[in-house]
Amino acid sequence: MSKRPKLIATDLDGTIVHHDGTITQRTIDAFTEARDLGVQIYFVTGRPPRWMNEIRDAFGFGGAICGNGAMLYDLQSREVTEEWLISKEVQIEVAQRMRKAIPTISFAIETHDYYHREKSYIPRWDIGLDNVGVERIEDAAKGPIFKMLARCSGGELTSDEMLEVALVELEGLVTVTHSNPYESLLEISALGISKGTTLAKVAGRLGINAADCVSFGDNPNDFPMLQWCGRSFAMTDGHPDGIKYAKDLAPSHDDDGVAIVIEKLLELPA
């Protein structure tokens, strides 16, 4: 563990992207120096590709894993190169099981630039992308998608409480996580797909093992990635369970915690 990493993977929002959407020059400089030293850089996020333009513009390099591991995305060519999707049949099964467990729950589905929601699902970020909505998400399920979203729009349950229910109800059907404890929102991917599984696949193709990988994250959707990497850092201002999965803590994202850690890692011998 006294060597410079060969691959650095980082979450975006709440990790290197501030809550106002900005990325500091110190963070950009730290990742640029790592890239210049030959370190592979991967931005690993729950975001869909349509939300990646600012990352490409800020850095101009690096690979991307989007949708919590559901797709590999080429930042420069703006192309999805590989993806792992949820079938229409599974989408319907998820909706039916979760409605029985949490009657007030509502759903949205997305893949690439395709986004549909139930009328009772109140969007926070993709406002305007689907203004009308459908009565039941089954009416919009036309084929495979990369992410299904489930929300208690009235805030009846927290994201953590919803996740506790969903892990039981959806076991063996899909992968369920969340990226924001305050949103009453679940993020659902194909079974066996997570940031960790896809990062492991990417690293393996590059001939890099877990011991030579470093990752940073702040919420449960990052935990599989933090757990897999030989060195990993949960943000001190992130979800309190982060340290259960990460090997260490990084300073707050508002204090450029990731940049601080990377600067020290790059001082190590290759």
Task: State the CATH number of the domain containing residue 171.
Answer: 3.30.1240.10
pLDDT of residue 60: 96
Query: What pairing do the DSSP bridges indicate for beta strands 71-74 and 79-83?
Result: antiparallel
Q: For residue 55, what are the CA distances in angstroms to 64, 132, 147, 214, 228?
A: 10, 30, 20, 19, 24
Same domain, 79 and 114: no
pLDDT of residue 240: 96
Same domain, 148 and 234: no
* Torsion (CA) 52, 57, 59, 60 in degrees, nearest 10: 100
Q: Is residue 270 part of a domain?
A: no
Q: Which of 102, 243, 99 minimizes the C-alpha distance to 159? A: 102
End-to-end CA separation in angstroms for the chain: 11
Same domain, 224 and 254: yes
Q: Is residue 2 part of a domain?
A: no
- Using the 3D structure, point to which of 190, 211, 230 is the last residue of a domain: 190
Q: Which of 198, 197, 239 minimizes the C-alpha distance to 217? A: 239
Give 95's contacts (C-beta < 8 A, 6+ positions apart). Answer: 107, 136, 137, 138
Same domain, 117 and 181: yes
Q: Is residue 1 part of a domain?
A: no
pLDDT of residue 170: 98
Q: Is residue 129 part of a domain?
A: yes
The pair of three-digit structure tokens given for residue 32, joined into one six-digit string: 């640029």
- Phi and psi dihedrals of 141, rounded to 5? -75, 100
Same domain, 240 and 109: no
Q: Are the CB atoms for 227 and 206 separated by under 8 Å?
A: no
Same domain, 229 and 184: no
For residue 155, the enclosing domain spans: 88-190
- Phi and psi dihedrals of 97, rounded to 5? -65, -45
56-80 tens-digit pLDDT:
999 999 999 999 999 999 999 999 9
Q: Which of 126, 107, 224 minimizes the C-alpha distance to 170? A: 107
Same domain, 20 and 98: no
pLDDT of residue 103: 96
- Using the 3D structure, point to which of 146, 164, 190 is the last residue of a domain: 190
pLDDT of residue 128: 54
Q: Is residue 244 part of a domain?
A: yes
Q: What is the pTM of this model?
A: 0.95
d(CA 167, CA 183): 18
pLDDT of residue 158: 95
Same domain, 78 and 210: yes
pLDDT of residue 111: 83
Same domain, 96 and 171: yes
Same domain, 79 and 209: yes
Same domain, 182 and 63: no
d(CA 254, CA 249): 14
94-104 tens-digit pLDDT:
999 999 999 99
Q: Is residue 14 part of a domain?
A: yes
Same domain, 200 and 68: yes
Domain count, the chain: 2
Q: Which of 243, 242, 260 minimizes the C-alpha distance to 251? A: 260
- Using the 3D structure, point to which of 144, 174, 190 is the last residue of a domain: 190
pLDDT of residue 2: 86
d(CA 222, CA 220): 5
Task: State the CATH number of the domain containing residue 231.
Answer: 3.40.50.1000
Q: For each of the chain's 270 residues, which pLDDT tens digit applies?
A: 589 999 999 999 999 999 888 999 999 999 999 999 999 999 999 999 989 999 999 999 999 999 999 999 999 999 999 999 999 999 999 999 999 999 999 999 998 767 899 999 988 766 556 667 899 999 999 999 999 999 998 889 999 999 999 999 999 999 999 999 888 999 999 999 999 999 999 999 999 999 999 999 999 999 999 999 999 999 999 999 999 999 999 999 999 999 999 999 999 999
